[in-house]
Amino acid sequence: MTNFEPLNQSVISGRVDQVKEQTKAMVDAGVSPIEIINQGLIAGMNVVGVRFKNGDMFVPEVLMCARSMAAGIEIVKPLIADTDMPSKGKVLIGTVKGDLHDIGKNLVGMMMESGGFNVINLGVDIPPEKFVAAIKEHKPDIVAMSALLTTTMLQMKDTIELIKEEGLNVKYIIGGAPISQEFADEIGADGYAPDAASSVDLCLKLIG
């Protein structure tokens, strides 16, 4: 039986080099890559998610943990056929036009990846047309939009309207400091997540 506990702990502590070493050692020992991802890397990140939600961990620590998890996944990914990569669905994420904030969005993206989603991160300052083009190209299940300024919030509404006009069938979720459930209802979004950890639960619920 492989002991995944040390790898879990390294992810929880955000130790990138240690995660790489332990992941390589497991690969060399012939442990299944999918098991390394699920029981080693993602299981560690799940603990981080719970602690973050409870206020026991903060954004900089979570980003370190997510980076360490990603470093481990990079090592095992080439060993797995794309068809075997566990995926709960595809999420397209971006910060809307006029807004250049990306720490929250990147954190959400990392949490979603650790939750088993395939994430396409478009970056910041993304106009509605670019969201539409990316939906046509990547065919995601969910589009996640972020805004940190009250002045850019309405870009979310414009984006949703344009996606609907194009007849594209996706779910929309939104988040960011000025965003509320009321605003989500008002612009026709399928959901609102107050923080990165709850965005994963929200996606699971929408896809489930």
In SS3 terms, the chain reads as: CCCCHHHHHHHHHCCHHHHHHHHHHHHHCCCCHHHHHHHHHHHHHHHHHHHHHCCCCCHHHHHHHHHHHHHHHHHHHHHCCHHHCCCCCEEEEEEECCCCCCHHHHHHHHHHHHCCCEEEEEEEEECHHHHHHHHHHHCCCEEEEECCCCCCHHHHHHHHHHHHHCCCCCEEEEECCCCCHHHHHHHCCCEECCCHHHHHHHHHHHHC
Q: Encode pLDDT of 193-207 as tens digits.
A: 988 878 989 999 999
> 0.95 cut: is pTM over it?
no
Q: Are residues 22 and 120 in the same domain?
A: no
Q: Give the residue with greater pLDDT, 116 vs 86.
A: 116
Q: Are residues 50 and 122 in the same domain?
A: no
Q: Which of 53, 83, 113 marks a domain boundary?
A: 83
Mean pLDDT of 128-139: 98
Tell me the CATH number at 159: 3.40.50.280
Would you place residue 184 in the very low, low, confident or very high pLDDT band (cuts 50, 70, 90)?
very high
Q: Are residues 105 and 123 in the same domain?
A: yes
Q: Which domain does 73 fall in, by range?
A: 5-83
Q: Is the pLDDT of residue 80 over 90?
A: no
Domains in the chain, number: 2
pLDDT number for residue 18: 97
Mean pLDDT of 137-145: 97
Q: Give the residue with greater pLDDT, 92 vs 109.
A: 92
